Amino acid sequence: MKRLLFLQVTLLLLLALSDDVKGNGENDGQCKCGKDLALKPRPHSVSILEFGAVGDGKTLNTIAFQNAVFYLRSFADKGGAQLYVPPGRWLTGSFNLTSHLTLFLERNAVILGTQDSFEWQVIDPLPSYGRGIELPGGRHRSLINGYKLKDVVITGDNGTIDGQGSIWWEWYHSQSLNYSRPHLVELESSTDVVISNLTFLNAPAWSIHPVYCSNVHIQNITVYTPSNSPGTNGIVPDSSSDICIEDCYVSVGGDAISLKSGWDEYGIAYGKPTSNVYISRVYLQTSFGSALAFGSEMSGGISNVCAEQLHIRDSFTGIELKTARGRGGFVKDVGVSDVEMENIHVALGITGQCSDHPDDHFDPNAYPDISGITLKNVIGANISVAGELKGIPEDPFTSICLLNISLSMTSELSTSWVCSDVLGFSRSVSPEPCSDLQLPYSNSSSVCFSLLSPAGHAEAF
């Protein structure tokens, strides 16, 4: 509880800081969130109590949530409706949302995921993955789901969605799972989505997973799983476009924010990239993963990403791009700026050696295209390794641009940079990067990219 209180206080401080930044006009980047998805009051509202739910933390309320959502479907053409969850501990299995719906959790309202795996239905794998992420075959349905929805809001007065994932972590470690673990929230092929003003705890696997979605705003949330929880990624935009992540605190066991777009031949065939992503004013922490990750499942492509005002603490890797032979796809036109790091093992990681594949049918000649990756205005303290950049010998990674970076190493004996099969440009970088990253910056204007323009296209420095 002390840890959670610390996270919530930190988030409040972050929000106050963001108001100051907005007010004084500093750090106004070229990229902003796209379509405004301002919350609008729904003309109709019902309480989960009206459907027989009991908030004692013991009574299973899956049927109550399912019936409430079914009833609220009738208001979709009448301006939509709100499902109100009052204070209490509301135990439930998986349930679906509907279009034009607001799920609102009052302060001290907690939706609890049951630890009975039979309440998490097994469903088919996503087509861009071809199998479950962790195991061949199907996957458990997430706690809160949506499919082909429009205008969906998950919000509250800092209510909580708690997946009670400890039992799933035990099953994962003991290799007793038959299917891949579920997420807390997964919205598939949906548009105009807002997730805000909530705390997400103890996801069995990932916390928030918009996949094949567009116009998704994730704002003012706290995401937490223990540092030793396996593979518990925080916010995972996946083959989705026009994504806005602002004013969030994420502390997890896996990657804090991870951009993905499908796995090997399945992601290549599905062909839906993650694009036009804006991330700003976030606090990120992960003991075993990366604070901001690209991939490693990126076979549909990742492009036009702007991330600024990142605060990264006590993490294994700060910013990392992960891919491999057989992935195909691309990561291009990425600008990351105004980053503060402290107590980080590897500040910047780029690797082409993520050798896990869904099966043996991938094309070994499907090489990823990595280009236009820029990191600028970075200050780091207590850094063990400045950068580990390892491309693919047959497919070197080029157009890596490093600008105005100052990293204070843990000791004079610390390894600064490790490079192979990469090529890039640098200016005002300390400690001095490896020679492969020291091409003159004056020759880089056509390949180094800054923040995204308001129109959503990368612009050269």
| CATH classification at residue 95 | 2.160.20.10
Note whether residue 379 is domain-resident. yes
> pLDDT digits over 276-329, tens only?
999 999 999 999 999 999 999 999 999 999 999 999 999 999 999 999 999 999
Q: Is residue 4 part of a domain?
A: no
Q: Does residue 106 lie in a domain region?
A: yes
Nearest to 395 by CA among 432, 424, 422, 430: 422
How many whole angstroms separate alpha carbon 329 and alpha carbon 370? Answer: 9
Q: Is residue 438 assigned to a domain?
A: yes
The pLDDT score that the predictor gives to residue 354 is 92
Asked, for residue 165, whether it belongs to a domain, the answer is yes
**214 in any annotated domain:** yes
Domain count, the chain: 1
Contact 142, 195 (CB under 8 A): no
Q: What are phi and psi of 118, to 5 degrees?
A: -70, -15
Identify the weakest region by mean pLDDT among 34-43, 159-168, 344-353, 442-451: 442-451
Residue 5 covered by a domain? no
The closest of 237, 58, 292, 249 to 164, measured between CA atoms, is 58
User: Is there a domain that residue 26 lies in?
Assistant: no
Q: For all residues of the chain together, what is the average pLDDT?
A: 90
Q: Is pLDDT of 461 > 90?
A: no
Domain, as residue range, for 80: 49-460
Q: Which tokens hold the place of 318?
A: 């700060």
For residue 25, pLDDT beyond 80:
no
In degrees rounded to 5, what are phi and psi of residue 269? -65, -40
SS3 209: strand
Where does the pLDDT of residue 455 fall: very low under 50, low under 70, confident under 90, or very high at 90 and above? very low
pLDDT of residue 17: 35
Q: In this predicted structure, what is the pLDDT of residue 279? A: 98
What was the pLDDT predicted at 33?
Answer: 82
Q: Please state which of the ranges 5-14, 67-76, 95-104, 177-186 shows the lowest mean pLDDT.
A: 5-14
Q: Which residues pair with 235 in a beta bridge?
A: 208, 257
Q: Whats the size of the chain, residue-wise?
A: 461
Place of tokens 């349905």: 141
Pairing label, strands 101-105, 150-156: parallel
d(CA 103, CA 105): 7
Q: Give the mean pLDDT of 50-79.
A: 97
- Alpha carbon distance 60, 119 (integer Å): 10
